[in-house]
Structure 1
Amino acid sequence: MKLATTLTILVTAFTITVVLAPIAIPLLRRLKFGQSIREEGPQSHLKKAGTPTMGGIIFLLAIIATTLITGTMFNLFTTQTVVLLLVLVGFGVIGFLDDGIKVIFKRNLGLTSLQKLIGQIIISIAAFMLLRLGTFNTAVEIPFTGYSIDFGLFYVAFLIFWLVGFSNAVNLTDGLDGLVAGTASIAFAAFGVIALFNKQADIALVAFAITGALLGFLIFNINPAKVFMGDTGSLALGGALAMISVLVKAELLLLLVGLVFVIETLSVILQVGSFKLRKKRIFKMSPIHHHFELSGWSEWKVVLVFWSTGLVVALIAVMMEAFL
């Protein structure tokens, strides 16, 4: 893929998002699709109540449009592109239903965990079946070692775990203005570059379309946010990020590229486990970004530190892929 092609994809997705957002945000506000805020959360967040949510629709439409337009233009539309869009849109629909229940019934809980899990499993299996129509490698490589483990048909279990795990990890991270939009744009850009290393221009197409759309969305999502992505956006992004790592055969590398999401998830697991076993909390609040807020960090400081962390680990991963 040429540099001009990459820039065209990025600019197209960015532009569509920036054009759609000023139309969609007032519409979401008129529909009273406002965010509910947890009473037990940081008190500084209470002022965010009512901010339009479900904004993930904005960048999802931009990603789909960009993929269809530039994919056709540059002849990059393939089965793998379809699989990526299936996961992105499928997980986005689950998030949309979850958000919809929250805003309609004015509560902070939407679909049950089981309902979301069933939907995610169905989409993951459908993606696996589409991949198996071609010659899909079911081995999982151990980064930078040359070793791999072939799961065979059991790869579907790994795929379900990977997609469900990271979609929920990104969802947990989505608690501060611009946090997920920034960290996810960095992660997708990194995998876009890795896809180019592998000469997988079709995968790079979607990765850079998502990057461009998220950068456009970030304009409206940084503090103070004019719109939140909601589960519509975060579940879609997490599923798509995991799926891209699968398609470029760098599944475990996602643990490094997505280190911020991993840490956020581990903080919740440790907090819950500690409280159940010892009746003591490790953090002031989990996910860990709230711990830093309650420790006196401003929201901007937390977000900038997490963005920086995401950028550093993404650069390390890309350089190691390039030179090892």
Structure 2
Amino acid sequence: MNIPQLLLTSSGCGLIAFLITFAIMPTLIKRLKKADIVGRDIHKLTKPEVAEMGGIGILFGFAISIMVGVYLYPSWQSQLTITLIVILLTGIIGIVDDLIILSSKEKLILLWIAGLPIMWVTPPNMSIFYMLSIPIAVSIASNLTNMLAGLNGIETGLGVIALTSLTLSCIIMNKYDVAIISFSMLGALLAFLFYNKYPANVFPGDVGTLIIGACIAIIAFIGRVKIIAFIVLIPNIIDGLLKFRSAGVMERHKFKPTQVKENGVLVAPPGGFNSLIRSILKKPMKEAEVVHIIWIIGLIFGIIGILVAFFAKGVII
């Protein structure tokens, strides 16, 4: 296929992921509520019940899209199949974490195991250190996109921004095999954001947040765009460093959540851990305003990632 055909079909995979995720979400939301798989939206005065584990819809749309990609591009079957395996394993870990709450240590180990298959599709003659760093990166990236969460649309929106940057970067650098992966996750996330944006009708759960980071790590290593992937994850990295510095390896449910006042604005509770969200909440703000500020931060780094791709075209980064 020539480049226009590659671009058309890879973007078509993204469209498939979007349509499937968008179509199944209403039914999935109803079924999750009926099964009492819900969570309280603690940043609203009324604390409404919202369907949890909606990331299953993202996972389903992404999986179907990648299977279509495998059919359309037999020569890229290995990369796409391994990607699907890793994302499905990560999603299963997310489902288990949503249901029984894994410890930070358990989650890190399981995600490291989930990332092992990527070692099979890396460039030849790589060192053992490089090979072992791949599943470590999957584990870390997944946890980073899982940590910067809690406000309506914040995780999904940042994921959309990061995957848009990576998709455009892959196109600029003629990496159309990984563009299928980024297009597919981007399409599923865009569809999910329609239901997850403020005021949210569904939460992604760990099944949704973990697979975003895993997908970014996969694109980084298979597409050899590690620097760009690092750049788009900088908001999550800053958030993770702030939390680690203030509270160590913490279990978030053990700390006081961000508080909502009678006028509907959010305030950071006294004491406790620091984070990117709480750094922004130096003064009371509405939930949507905080989310938009963090999206803007993500957008800045997303644009930087695209610029790096443009100026580094033809260079392995």
1:131-166 Cα offsets, whole Å, 9 max, x none, are 25xx4463xxxxxxxxxxxxx011133223311111
Measure the CA separation in 2 of the matches of 1:286 and 1:50. 27
Measure the CA separation in 2 of the matches of 1:20 and 1:137. 43
Change (3 A) 1:316 1:111: same
| 3-state SS of paired residue (1:80) | helix
Conserved? CA contact 1:183–1:310, under 8 Å? yes
Conserved? CA contact 2:142–2:210, under 8 Å? yes
Change (3 A) 1:219 1:243: same
1:26-82 Cα offsets, whole Å, 9 max, x none, are 000000001257xxxxx6357446311111100110011112124423557421112
| 3-state SS of paired residue (1:227) | coil
Picking from 302, 306, 310, the partner of 2:290 is 302
Conserved? CA contact 1:270–1:282, under 8 Å? no
Aligned to 1:115: 106
Q: CA deviation at 1:170?
A: 0.4
Aligned to 1:161: 136
Structure 1, unaligned stretches of length 5 or more? 38-42, 102-109, 139-151, 276-280
When the two structures are superposed, what TM-score results if normalisation uses the length of structure 1? 0.81
Aligned to 1:82: 81
Conserved? CA contact 2:162–2:232, under 8 Å? yes
Aligned to 2:65: 66
Aligned to 2:37: 33
Q: CA deviation at 1:94?
A: 0.4
| 3-state SS of paired residue (1:223) | coil
Taking the TM superposition and a 5 Å limit, the aligned residue runs for 1:177-192 are 177-192=152-167
State the one-letter code of the partner of 1:87: V
Aligned to 1:50: 49
Measure the CA separation in 2 of the matches of 1:263 and 1:67. 31
Q: CA deviation at 1:270?
A: 2.0
Aligned to 1:272: 247
Taking the TM superposition and a 5 Å limit, the aligned residue runs for 1:250-269 are 250-269=225-244
Q: CA deviation at 1:190?
A: 1.6
State the one-letter code of the partner of 2:303: L
Picking from 20, 24, 43, the partner of 1:20 is 24
Conserved? CA contact 2:228–2:308, under 8 Å? no
Aligned to 2:261: none
Aligned to 1:289: 277
When the two structures are superposed, what TM-score results if normalisation uses the length of structure 2? 0.83
| 3-state SS of paired residue (1:224) | coil
Change (3 A) 1:76 1:21: farther
Measure the CA separation in 2 of the matches of 1:175 and 1:82. 32
Conserved? CA contact 1:71–1:205, under 8 Å? no
Q: CA deviation at 1:235?
A: 1.0
Conserved? CA contact 1:90–1:236, under 8 Å? no
Conserved? CA contact 2:152–2:198, under 8 Å? yes
What percentage of aligned pairs have identical amino acids?
26
Moved more, 209-218 or 181-190: 181-190
Structure 2, unaligned stretches of length 5 or more? 251-268, 313-317
Measure the CA separation in 2 of the matches of 1:125 and 1:137. 17
1:9 equivalenced with 2:13 (yes/no) = yes
Measure the CA separation in 1 of the matches of 2:72 and 2:118. 25
Measure the CA separation in 1 of the matches of 2:214 and 2:226. 13
Aligned to 1:147: none
Aligned to 1:142: none
